Amino acid sequence: MYLFRFKEGRIKSIANEYTKIKAIEGKDEDEDVVWVNEISYNDRKVNVFEGTVEDKKGVKRKYLFITNMRVTERNAGTMLSIGRSRWKIENQGFNTQKNIRYHIEHANSHNYNAMKNHYLLTQIADILVQLFENGLSIFRLVKKTAKEISSKLLEAIRTCGLTDEDILQIAKPAQVRFT
């Protein structure tokens, strides 16, 4: 399953068909979410929907998405929320990494493996930084300083080996959420 932001001008045949069908069906531009299902593209059927979202300043913006999941009255709002949250993760998270925190906008090597390793290490570092930043309230609960916790983490990385049980645990899906 997929749900992507569909930027204007990307696949003109889909955009044109979406616009024509929307006009024929009399879809109202003022609706929060408007969609057209089963648009043909390369022997496949895709579904396109657009939603209007109002930001904190009261400015309304339209966002267009493409998916292989059928859009219905019941799931349209949820799909819009999912599409927006995915977009925020990509744009805010990667933009922060690229331009603010790590400045990874330029290639740091001509060696493909070196670039890939650098990027993966950057991702690991960013995860640790986010956990640290968002975990400060947890530090207060366990009554430990950030220095104590980071020292223990470093010592654990240096001295503890991975067991078969650890590897099985790592293979299980997990999510970390900050609300």
Query: Structure tokens of 179?
Result: 């609300």
Q: In what order do the strands lie in the sheet with 3-5?
A: 3-5, 60-67, 44-54, 33-41
pLDDT band, very low/low/confident/very high, at 14 (cuts 50, 70, 90): very high
Percentage of residues in the chain with pLDDT exceeding 70? 91
φ, ψ of residue 148 in degrees (nearest 5): -65, -45
**Which of residues 63, 96, 129 is at a domain's end?**
96
105 in a structural domain? no
8 in a structural domain? yes
What are 93-107's pLDDT values in tens digits? 777 777 777 777 666
What are 27-58's pLDDT values in tens digits? 766 678 889 999 999 989 999 999 888 878 88
134 in a structural domain? yes
How many structural domains is the chain composed of?
2
Supply the pLDDT for residue 71: 93
Residue 179 has pLDDT above 60, yes or no: no
Task: Give yes or no: residues 148 and 67 share one domain.
Answer: no
**Which of residues 44, 68, 96 is at a domain's end?**
96
pLDDT band, very low/low/confident/very high, at 69 (cuts 50, 70, 90): very high
Residue 12 has pLDDT above 80, yes or no: yes
Distance of alpha carbon 126 from alpha carbon 153, whole angstroms: 16
Helices marked H in 45-104 — which ranges? Answer: 76-88, 94-95
15 in a structural domain? yes
Task: Give yes or no: residues 63 and 130 share one domain.
Answer: no
Q: Which of 29-43, 67-81, 135-149 shows the lowest per-residue confidence on average (mean pLDDT)?
A: 135-149
Task: Give yes or no: residues 123 and 152 share one domain.
Answer: yes
| Predicted model pTM | 0.56
152 in a structural domain? yes
Residue 122 is part of which domain span?
A: 114-171
**Which of residues 45, 63, 96 is at a domain's end?**
96
Supply the pLDDT for residue 47: 94
Percentage of residues in the chain with pLDDT exceeding 90? 16
